Homo-oligomer: A and B are copies of this chain.
Amino acid sequence: MCYTKSMMEQISKHAVVLLSGGIDSATALAIARSQGYHCHTLTFDYGQRHRIELEAAQHIAQYLGVEEHRVIRLDLRAFGHSALTDDIEVPKGGTVGIPVTYVPARNTIFLAYALAWAEVLEVGDIFIGVNAVDYSGYPDCRPEYILAFERMANLATKASVEDKISIHIHTPLIHLTKAEIIQEGTVLGLDYSLTHSCYDPDEKGRACGQCDSCLLRKKGFAEASIADPTPYQ
């Protein structure tokens, strides 16, 4: 068999994709796959209250046919200060400004690990499902932050010094609303029943339907005019 240049490019396209188990990162992975990337997915076990999120990431990775899926254990609880990892009550009914579910420097830590793996794999492409529209006020979801990380990453690695690989942080969702993200993923055939959003599910893993994350999810499906497959409590 003889390969055309475009086929060879397809073969060599690999990317590291951050995958949490939620709507956004699952859609980012579906987009990366649709663009022909062979994906290496990275999920973090950082003391989340619920294992459901980690299991969701595993199922999505399988469903979308990734090359390999790795789970890295972090201990962000060592620094405390977040309802996602501490025993602070998760707020219900919507919040103003930056929520208490904020984990300090989270995306910086996640992207730093993605960069480490990308360097080992000799890959320049990293996908992250941040978006700055329905972004819950997290500062490390903004385009200016991502650009600054990318600039730093291109000075950080052996490959960048040797001018072999240029790091590109792909943020395919950054300017999309939650509804547009869901529409995009649906077009690509993503099964959103595999994803998990709730900060406070019950013992059977069913979403509460009331936390910030559930409210954003519901609003997204409603505005996208797509049925929400989530089994709420």
Residues of chain A touching chain B, judged by Cβ–Cβ distance below 8 Å, are 70, 72-76, 78-81, 98, 102, 104-109, 111-113, 115-117, 119-120, 139-140, 142, 144-145, 148-149, 151-153, 155-158, 160-162
CA of A151 to CA of B153, assembled, Å: 12
Contact (Cβ within 8 A) A79 B116: yes
Interface residue from B78, B151, B155 paired with A142 (Cβ < 8 Å): B155
CA of A112 to CA of B109, assembled, Å: 5
Contact (Cβ within 8 A) A75 B75: no
CA of A75 to CA of B73, assembled, Å: 7
Contacts of A76 on B, CB cut-off 8 Å?
Answer: 116
Contact (Cβ within 8 A) A117 B148: no
Say whether, besides A102-B158, A139-B160, A116 and B109 are in contact (CB < 8 Å): yes
Interface residue from B81, B116, B162 paired with A120 (Cβ < 8 Å): B81
Query: In the assembled complex, how far is the CB of residue A217 from the closest CB belonging to chain B, in whole angstroms?
Result: 23
Contacts of A120 on B, CB cut-off 8 Å?
Answer: 79-81, 104
Return the 8 tightest CB-CB contacts between A and B, nearest first: A105-B116, A148-B152, A104-B119, A104-B116, A139-B161, A145-B155, A112-B112, A108-B112
Contacts of A104 on B, CB cut-off 8 Å?
Answer: 115-117, 119-120, 157-158
Query: In the assembled complex, how far is the CB of residue A27 from the closest CB belonging to chain B, in whole angstroms?
Result: 23
Further 16 A-B residue pairs, CB within 8 A, beyond A108-B112, A139-B158: A81-B120, A98-B161, A104-B115, A104-B120, A105-B113, A105-B119, A108-B152, A139-B156, A145-B152, A145-B156, A148-B148, A148-B152, A148-B155, A148-B156, A149-B152, A149-B156
Contacts of A144 on B, CB cut-off 8 Å?
Answer: 155
Say whether, besides A75-B72, A78-B70, A148-B148, A139 and B116 are in contact (CB < 8 Å): no
CA of A74 to CA of B73, assembled, Å: 8
CA of A194 to CA of B142, assembled, Å: 44
Contacts of A156 on B, CB cut-off 8 Å?
Answer: 105, 107-108, 139-140, 145, 148-149
CA of A120 to CA of B115, assembled, Å: 24
CA of A153 to CA of B74, assembled, Å: 20
Contacts of A109 on B, CB cut-off 8 Å?
Answer: 109, 112-113, 116
